[in-house]
Amino acid sequence: MNYQSFPHFFNRIFVWSSPLLKFSLFILSSIILNGCGGGVKPDVEVSAVDEGVFRWATKVQITDKVKNHKQYLNVDGIVEGIDKLRLEAQTSMGIQVASLVADNRNYSCQVYPQKAFYSSQAEAGSLKPLVKIDIHPLVLLRLLKGQRELGDGWTCQTLGEMALLSCKNKEGVTVTEIEKSPSLRKVRVESAKFELMWAITDPPASLKPNPLLFQLEKKESYKLIQL
């Protein structure tokens, strides 16, 4: 069975399920409780997020350059330490699109419009069936944290007075930091066929550690796709 590329599902309408609603309420309650208890630290610096759990509010524009088609998402990026990542993507109308969880060993992504659950080892190319960009999922974690190095296979440098990041990997994917301020970073991730424009709001919010944040279970009715 052929599956359409991930961005083409962004503008489909579908219904929140109870588990999704529960997870969203869990995230919201975590933020509220942390705020009441002094857990949210609005002055967290990007360089200070190697320990603890942090959440960034971001916006993503995805462009299929072949079809000249753009899609827009709101994405919550949640990170713990140096190797745990969760992304929750939804449309601007609040419609859930996908949940992604990755660490240095495993990668899984639940795509709700497709009713599909992708699973593989975490490696360069894990994201390619979804967005046709050949990068390791944890590159996204490093971009959220504002790291100056993206890992094996990447050549990076900083440019200009603002020390904007510019990187390229052996597959020809480029990462370019096009704006950086205390409150906002804009990063372009580009391959031959796709482009991600990622606006990352700083500083991140601090969350209480919870192992459920980095677990993703396949829905019973969803198709398992082993990459």
Q: Which residue has the higher pLDDT, 22 or 187?
A: 187
pLDDT (tens digit per residue) in 190-207? 999 999 999 999 999 999
Can you tell me the distance from the alpha carbon of 115 to that of 207, in angstroms, rounded to the nearest whole number?
A: 29
> How many CB atoms are closer than 10 A to CB 182?
10
pLDDT at position 108, please? 95
The 3-class secondary structure across the chain, one letter per residue, is CCCCCHHHHCCCCCCCCHHHHHHHHHHHHHHHHHHHCCCCCCCCCHHHCCCCEEEEEEEEEEEECCCCEEEEEEEEEEEECCCEEEEEEECCCCCEEEEEEECCCEEEEEECCCCEEEEEECCCCCCHHHHCCCCCHHHHHHHHCCCCCCCCCEEEEEECCCCEEEEEECCCCEEEEEEECCCEEEEEEECCCEEEEEEEECCCEEECCCHHHHCCCCCCCCEEEEC
| pLDDT tens, residue by residue, 83-129 | 999 999 999 999 999 999 999 999 999 999 999 999 999 988 788 77
Confidence tier at 48 by pLDDT (50, 70, 90):
low
CA-to-CA distance for 152 and 74, rounded, in angstroms?
Answer: 29
CATH 3.20.20.100 fits 6-226, yes or no: no
Q: Which of the four pLDDT bands, split at 50, 70 and 90, describes residue 49? A: low
Q: Who has greater pLDDT, 8 or 78?
A: 78
CB contact at 8 A, 172 and 192: yes
Domain ranges of the chain: 6-226
2 versus 73: the higher-pLDDT residue is 73
150-181 pLDDT, tens per residue?
999 999 999 988 899 999 999 999 999 999 99
Structure tokens at 119: 């699973």
